[in-house]
Chain A
Amino acid sequence: MKLIKLLTAGVFAGLAVTTGQASASVLDTVKQRGTLNCGTDNTAPGFGYLNTTTGQMEGLDVDFCRAVAAAVLGDASKVKFVTVTDKSRFDAVLTNQVDVVFAHTTMKPARESSIAIDFLPVNFYDGTGIMVKTDSEVVQFADLEGATFCTTQGSVTETVLTSAFKANGWQGSKVLTYENLEKLFAALNSGRCNAMSTDKSALAAWAGNSPKPSDYLILPETLDKSPFAGFVAANDSKWRNALRWITYGLFQAEESDITQANLEEKLKSDDPFVQKFLGVGGGYGKDFGLPDDFVAQAIKAMGNYGEIYARNLGPDTSMFLDRKGTPNALWTEGGAIYSPLWN
């Protein structure tokens, strides 16, 4: 399967590159078509999820699709969501079935060097985390020497944990694997494991949805980084740049305190930076091939990055992911969400 996948990826990367150069940028195609074909997952709550009660797509990745549609086409509803899986997401963009993919994809060197895709700015920083029960009085990873860790079967977490043991020279620590997160959580509760290890975003959701969230503590350490980013087919700078600056626009809007609610007010602002940023009387959009008010359109439809985050992952949602003290906070608050200079 791996060989076949590599072969397919190679063949279609080649095809995509040759056809891509001959034809126009995806940006022009999207504008001509009038809809954005956006690849997302539909089974990842908080990121790309089809809410089974409302029947609506929701999540951080989904809202990024909508923000892009609003910025490029002026209408957040002009998105066609195409479900992609972990297996099909790269081929989907290489064969032009989708214009862009936002599907909680970890940015890795091999993915850009051998699959002919280009990543967009990171829009969420995940990583392997550890959760313990509060009454165990463990407060940091170093307290867990000799402990039993639990994780899911066949995940990379197992390797991450064993290499962390090796790095620390721990002999007695061992890893138990379980079939799914539900069983993992039950094992932590029954005391079969001292610590539960998986993606931090999942840990917060499981603790938050339990009857008593204060029983659990997620340790501050991140064992393995996992930055999520959207991606497009390689060698289309026009499209990629437009998407990059839409993303940065959402970051900058939060930094400049421009929200969905106060946008009307800010549009009347005398501040020359805000005026130009929002495209009042000439902005940055034209040279990207976008409307001048593309940032304003995206904010009007979906809000700034902070609002998108709070709506889908924040403490008020069933994901219970507080940004404070994580890389997902703005750089002004010690996080890693950073937009380059706009002027």
Chain B
Amino acid sequence: MIARFLKWSRHNLFGKPFDILLSLTVIPGFLWLAYQVAAWTVTTARWEIIPESLRILMIGIFPAEQAWRAWVAIMIIAALLGAALGCVFAFRKRHAAGLLLVLAAVIALTGSKDLTNALLTASTIAIFASGCAAISLIPLLRRALLPAGFIALIAIFAVMSPPGAGLWGGLLLSILLTLVTSIVSLPVGILLAFGRRSRFSSMRWICMGYIEVMRSVPLIMVVYWIWILMPVLAPQFGLADVVRGMIGFTLFYSAYVAEYVRSGLQAVPREQTEAARSLGMSEFDINRSIVLPQALRVAVPPLVGNVLDIFNTAPLVFIIGLTDFLRAGQMILANPQYGDRTYEVYAFLFLTYFLVGSLITFVARRLETHLARGNR
């Protein structure tokens, strides 16, 4: 074992003079950093602020007595995310065992303090896993995923709306915003991409103008403009801030989706269309059954990357007064009593963003290999 490690390190870490130099500087530096972080985590940091303000971080200013609504929404989201993961992840028996272990750990660690929330957290994880397992084991369900996503969104809105959409916040808001934007911008973006290749030049110009305008302005400006324009243009609707934020995000990211889809459309060889046309297929059928499936195969990996982009830009909604995950953390720190917990709160924010972000990149990478399989 030791001999193998020595051999491995000689090959990989100390092979050439430059490697030796690099290893000698990077490894001790990294170890020192890891030691410092670990020492701070265990000794200096006062973590009790995180459980104390966990509700604010997760659901923001959503009223505590209505928290069950948030839980329902979280479970629907968990099922949806699990299903999305299931498309690219083969669920096996050993995963089920690992899952049971995680559930037991969650209940054992937090159950003594707050049993209800521990059980709810555990069931959310279980729902996530069963969504993943169901899609992974029954591939036929995948066709229903996009419609199911829309139905899930409507269900979430229905359950979350009664206390007032203005109260949505925290991590739940960030995730909802990401979900709504990524799901709604997909069909809009596909239409825009086709519009840009349309036979009608007016259509072509309108779509191109829209895409170019949206891609050349900053997101924060689009969001802010939508926020102030909607009540002036349509005062009778009285749309909530959060809905206007979602509209702004969707309008903006549709343009990006359109460009990703267009790159996919361009990757489909012309002969495919011509062959389909010579078979007498209608233009709609050609696009739906010949062009789009092949185009999406190229476009899906960057589209998943786009989801990550949306999630990471979600904090920009602070500009219209929404309390997303990052702002919820800042809100806790604004209290002078907690003013010296900056590092604890930001470490928690970092970790959560990192976990969600890595889940999305993991899905993206799996998708890429998964889709590339057909091209071999």
Within 8 Å CB of A205, what residues of B?
A: 336
Q: In the bound complex, what is the Cα–Cα distance between A318 and B336 (angstroms)? A: 7
Inter-subunit contact A96/B52 (CB<8 Å): no
Within 8 Å CB of A339, what residues of B?
A: none
Per-residue 0/1 for B328-350: is the Cβ within 8 Å of any A Cβ (1 yes, 0 no)? 00111011111110100000000
Inter-subunit contact A82/B52 (CB<8 Å): no
Inter-subunit contact A97/B339 (CB<8 Å): no
Inter-subunit contact B340/A182 (CB<8 Å): yes
A289 CB to closest chain B CB (Å) equals 23
Residue of B nearest to A40 (CB): B321
Binding site for B on A (CB under 8 A): 4, 8, 12, 15, 42-45, 49-50, 52-53, 55, 57, 80, 82-85, 87-88, 91-92, 95-97, 180-182, 185, 202, 205-206, 208-209, 318-319
Of the residues B231, B323, B335, contact of A95 by C-beta under 8 Å: B231
Q: Pick from B56-64, B144-152, B292-300 the stretch touching chain A.
A: B56-64
Inter-subunit contact A82/B342 (CB<8 Å): no
B352 CB to closest chain A CB (Å) equals 16
Binding site for A on B (CB under 8 A): 52-53, 55-56, 61, 63-64, 164, 166, 221, 224-225, 227-228, 231-232, 235, 241, 318-323, 327, 330-332, 334-340, 342
Of the residues B55, B332, B340, contact of A55 by C-beta under 8 Å: B55
Within 8 Å CB of A319, what residues of B?
A: 336
Q: In the bound complex, what is the Cα–Cα distance between A12 and B225 (angstroms)? A: 11
The 24 listed contacts between A and B (C-beta, < 8 Å) are A8-B225, A12-B228, A43-B327, A43-B334, A45-B336, A50-B61, A52-B52, A52-B53, A52-B331, A55-B63, A80-B164, A80-B166, A82-B241, A83-B321, A84-B321, A88-B321, A95-B232, A96-B235, A180-B342, A181-B339, A206-B336, A206-B339, A208-B336, A209-B337
Main SS at interface, chain A: mixed
A81 CB to closest chain B CB (Å) equals 8
Inter-subunit contact B228/A43 (CB<8 Å): no
Within 8 Å CB of B52, what residues of A?
A: 52-53
Inter-subunit contact A88/B320 (CB<8 Å): yes
Within 8 Å CB of B53, what residues of A?
A: 52-53
B323 CB to closest chain A CB (Å) equals 7
Among all A-B residue pairs, the 10 with the closest Cβ atoms: A83-B321, A205-B336, A43-B334, A52-B56, A52-B53, A95-B231, A43-B331, A209-B336, A91-B228, A55-B64
Within 8 Å CB of A12, what residues of B?
A: 228, 232
